[in-house]
Amino acid sequence: MTYFKLATASWLTPIYLLMLAVTVVAVAVNILREEKLSSQIVGGMVLIPLVLRLLLVK
């Protein structure tokens, strides 16, 4: 319920959360496609702030 309130705080917030969600899934797909371990780790690093912001944790 708190998440829903925060996610609809302004008309732009749900749009940006949608953009974030799409970006998170696209990053995850790229990590799965990537063959080099170093690139997979970089993808994992990128996911940290994206997922936390998507969950409105930070």
Residues lying near other proteins in the complex (CB under 8 A) are found at 12, 15-16, 19-20, 22-23, 26-27, 29-30, 33, 38-39, 41-43, 45-46, 48-50, 52-53, 58
Smallest distance, Å, CB 47 to other proteins? Answer: 9
30 touches 43 (CB < 8 A): yes
> Which class for 36: exposed (0-12), middle (13-18), buried (19 or more C-beta within 10 A)?
exposed
- Nearer to other proteins (CB atom), residue 1 or residue 34: 34
Contact 39, 27 (CB under 8 A): no
CB of 45 to other proteins, least distance (A): 5
